[in-house]
Amino acid sequence: MAEQDLFRDAVYEIVALIPSGRATSYGAIAAAAGCPHMPRMVGRLMSLSARFSDDLPAHRVVNSQGVLSGRGAFGPGDEMKDLLEAEGVAVENNRIKNWKTVFWNPLNEL
DNA sequence: GGCGTGACTATGG
DNA sequence: ACCATAGCCACGC
C-alpha cells in the first residue's frame, strides 16, 4: 500500500466533492490530500482518470490562476469551457471569470 | 537507471 | 502581461 495510492484516492474523492458551479486548483487539492508539493501528480491523475471515468468532474479543476490548463484532455475543442459554463461558471479566454468567487476550497469542507 | 516531458506553483526580471 | 528559473513527482523510452 503505497502513499501515492492513498493520494490518488484522496484526490479522486475531493474532486468528486466539488459542487456544481464551483472550481478549485491543483495545489488546493494536493494540499487537501496531504501533499501540497505535488500539484503535477494531481494533473497527471486527472489526465488519466478523465479518460477512464466520466464520474470525475475534472473540468472543475483548474490551475491557481483559474485558467483551464487541462481543456486539451477533454476534447479537440473547448469542451471543458462548455461544461463549466453549463454549470454556471463564467469562462472567458480559457479563464474563469470571478475566479476569486468561483474558487472552492476543499479545506473549507474538510 | 538516466533523460525528457507534463492538466503545477512561486518568484523575479 | 510575457518569459525564465527552480522545485516537486510520475511515466515512457
The DSSP-derived string for A7-73 is HHHHHHHHHHHPPTT-BEEHHHHHHHHT-TT-HHHHHHHHHHHHHH-TTS-GGGEE-TT-B-TTGGG
Given a contact cutoff of 8 angstroms between Cβ atoms, the answer to whether A29 and A106 are in contact is yes
List chain A residues with pLDDT less than 50.
none
Interatomic separation, CA of residue A25 and C1' of nucleotide C10, rounded (Å): 19
pLDDT of residue A2: 65
* Chain C bases closer than 7 A to any CB of the protein: 7-11
The CA–C1' separation of A22 and B11, in angstroms, is: 28
- Report the pLDDT value the prediction gives residue A1, as an integer from 0 to 100: 63
**Per-residue pLDDT at A54:** 65
Residue the block writes with cell 474523492: A13
Return the pLDDT at A63.
95
Q: Which residues touch A85 (CB under 8 Å, ≥6 apart)?
A: A91
- Residue position matching grid coordinates 469542507: A109
Angle between the A3-17 and A39-52 helix axes, to the nearest 10 degrees? Answer: 70
The CA distance from A101 to A16, in Å, is 20
Strand C interface, protein residues by Cβ within 7 Å: A 4, 37-41, 44
Amino acid A101 CA to nucleotide C11 C1' distance, rounded Å: 35
Q: How confident is the model at residue A31, as a pLDDT?
A: 94
